Structure 1
Amino acid sequence: MDSPNNSQVVDNNEQFPRHVQGYYETKCLVPKLSLDNKLLASLGAHELLRIETWKGAMTELVATASLMFTLTTSIIACLDSHEVYPKFLVPFAVFIITFLFLIVTVPLSGGHMNPVLTFIATLKGLVTISRALIYMLAQCMGSIIGFFIIKSVMEPKLIHMYCLGGCAISGIKQQEALLLEFSCTFVVLFVGITLAFDKKKSKDLGLPMVCVVVAGSMGLAVFVSITVTGQAGYAGVGLNPARCLGPALLYGGPLWNGHWVFWVGPFLACMGYYAVSINLPKQGLVWVDGEYDVLKLAKLAMGSCGNINVSNIALSSDLQV
């Protein structure tokens, strides 16, 4: 059989025997199977069978339950104290307790303890979808367990006074609470997570300093939310939907009023932060001594000869990163 010219169109059904046609039809199925396998791998289906995934989920459950118990009781103790400005104690409690839990759990499971952090880690490709769903379920279960312990041991008077330490919207509109949730969560992500997800900077600073920055950003967000509104009945931003879910299920009542805000706000902040983060500079600017010296630029601009050689001016495009 003569080889067809490049200009001729080859009809496979006429040029090849049936068994060869079958071979080429079978080969066409291989890319489809590879695509399916790649999709399953990207979703993290293989992690469902890994013991390390479930160990990480168990760590998230225990850590979230312990964090909810410790953090909530500490905040209630601050608010119930006889201090003149007890709200100023709450951010410090949030900072110290969050720092302690982060520095312990980050090497074990990533130290999320929060569906928001798990969600942004998924968007950034650090966690597979399968692991993220398992982590979020574990975090919600941990929150329920932690608040169940609180409800079992706390004085009933304090439970009703502070609604079991849940996330309540009182004194402000739901739209205002939604804006606060979005803004404060975005601040935590931009300040804390930008550093935490930068492997080079995290390695240079070390785990303790990274945990300080993340915990500090959370304390700052709480401080802003409980002081900027000036409303006595508003307990501040949730920053953690799992923390708001536990008391809502166990206490109910007013905690279901606007409960959606504590989910929609943080997750919208995650998507907004992701859109910003993909456009952040990958490397910092490296400045050259005298490159933008004002006096040198002035001399060039006001030269007596009036002829300025543009090549003498160093532009930012010549920076060596």
Structure 2
Amino acid sequence: MPISRIAIGSPAEASQPDAIKAAVAEFISMLIFVFAGEGSGMAFAKLTDGGANTPAGLIAASIAHAFALFVAVAVGANISGGHVNPAVTFGAFVGGHISLFRSILYWIAQLLGSIVACLLLKFSTGGLETSAFALSSGVSPWNALIFEIVMTFGLVYTVYATAVDPKKGDIGIIAPIAIGFIVGANILAGGAFDGASMNPAVSFGPAVVSWTWDSHWVYWLGPFVGAGIAGLVYEILFINQSGHEQLPTTEF
């Protein structure tokens, strides 16, 4: 069972050069992703006089996030594995592919990357608001929670199939594209309901900078639950390795 392969690791990991480099890579990848994704929404709202919450705005957000995540994952893949998402890191953790202490290091870097990206956006746009994720009218927190669980399950399942699975072969080459595509598709599906975060760090940065926390817990619990389920399902059904073996960063 994957749960038996969970590795806690050691606090000493935080001082290892490769772990520090991986954390820096996660910080930079997250900054790139959030700056482009959040910035595209701000730019669309400016060009359309507040029309980001329209079908065209949804399509623009989907494309921008898909492109930006493709790049962010690709540039970090050989250093940190290109997680660019605390939920993806958690999914790798429950599958036994990363230790708890290294995961914490990644989470800190990812959250800081998102905050810095939003601060840079606010400064470079002359003080425009970095809008926090929010539920649409008629959507309850529990509706949104299901959305986030299902969408993040699809994302992390895709990560496992294209990047983590040791049997992936040449399909691993298209992992960043597949990951970007599933996020873009999920935004088209869930963006009109809860913003389609699938990523606690992406939600955290705008919330901190705008200091808006309405239903913020949904954007943590949903992605972590969906990621955990995806990691366990893929490990149990399709990998089912014996014993813990952390994948090298060049593989994930």
Whether the 8 Å contact between 1:94 and 1:215 is mirrored in structure 2 is: yes
Q: Percent identity?
A: 27
| Structure 2 equivalent of residue 29 of structure 1 | none
Residues 22-75 of structure 1: CA distance to partner in whole angstroms, max 9, x if unpaired? xxxxxxxxxxxxxxxxxxx94221423411111111111122122211221123
Looking at structure 2, the residues matched to 222 and 80 of structure 1 have their Cα atoms a distance apart, in angstroms, of: 21
Q: How does 1:18-167 map to 2 (within 5 A)?
A: 42-45=7-10, 46-82=12-48, 85-156=56-127, 158-159=128-129, 164-167=130-133
| Structure 1 equivalent of residue 187 of structure 2 | 222
| Structure 1 equivalent of residue 158 of structure 2 | 191
Looking at structure 2, the residues matched to 91 and 198 of structure 1 have their Cα atoms a distance apart, in angstroms, of: 27
3-state DSSP of counterpart to 2:236: coil
How many residues align? The count is 228
| Structure 1 equivalent of residue 142 of structure 2 | 175
Segment drifting more, 75-84 vs 55-64: 75-84
Q: Which amino acid aligns with 1:242?
A: A
Looking at structure 2, the residues matched to 180 and 146 of structure 1 have their Cα atoms a distance apart, in angstroms, of: 26
1:189–1:206 distance in 2 versus 1, CA, 3 Å: closer
| Post-superposition offset of 1:176 | 1.1
Q: Which amino acid aligns with 1:66?
A: I
Structure 2 unmatched runs, 5+: 1-5, 241-252
Looking at structure 1, the residues matched to 236 and 172 of structure 2 have their Cα atoms a distance apart, in angstroms, of: 25
Match of 1:251 among 199, 203, 210: 210
Q: Which amino acid aligns with 1:193?
A: Y
Whether the 8 Å contact between 2:30 and 2:72 is mirrored in structure 1 is: no
Looking at structure 1, the residues matched to 110 and 186 of structure 2 have their Cα atoms a distance apart, in angstroms, of: 21
**What TM-score do you get using the length of structure 1 for normalisation?**
0.66
Segment drifting more, 267-276 vs 129-138: 267-276
Residues 104-149 of structure 1: CA distance to partner in whole angstroms, max 9, x if unpaired? 1111111112100111111111111110011101111111111111
Whether the 8 Å contact between 1:78 and 1:87 is mirrored in structure 2 is: no
Whether the 8 Å contact between 2:27 and 2:109 is mirrored in structure 1 is: yes
Whether the 8 Å contact between 2:157 and 2:230 is mirrored in structure 1 is: yes
| Structure with greater Cα Rg | 1
3-state DSSP of counterpart to 2:77: helix
| Post-superposition offset of 1:81 | 4.2
Whether the 8 Å contact between 2:41 and 2:57 is mirrored in structure 1 is: no
3-state DSSP of counterpart to 2:98: coil
Residues 152-197 of structure 1: CA distance to partner in whole angstroms, max 9, x if unpaired? 12244x42xxxx1321223121111111111111111223432221
| Post-superposition offset of 1:277 | 2.0
Q: How does 1:271-310 map to 2 (within 5 A)?
A: 271-282=228-239
Looking at structure 2, the residues matched to 258 and 142 of structure 1 have their Cα atoms a distance apart, in angstroms, of: 22
Looking at structure 2, the residues matched to 49 and 191 of structure 1 have their Cα atoms a distance apart, in angstroms, of: 31
Q: Which amino acid aligns with 1:150?
A: L
Structure 1 unmatched runs, 5+: 1-40, 284-321
Output the aligned Cα RMSD: 2.2
1:89–1:281 distance in 2 versus 1, CA, 3 Å: same
Q: Which amino acid aligns with 1:219?
A: G
| Structure 2 equivalent of residue 3 of structure 1 | none
**What TM-score do you get using the length of structure 2 for normalisation?**
0.82
Looking at structure 1, the residues matched to 172 and 163 of structure 2 have their Cα atoms a distance apart, in angstroms, of: 10
Q: Which amino acid aligns with 2:31?
A: A
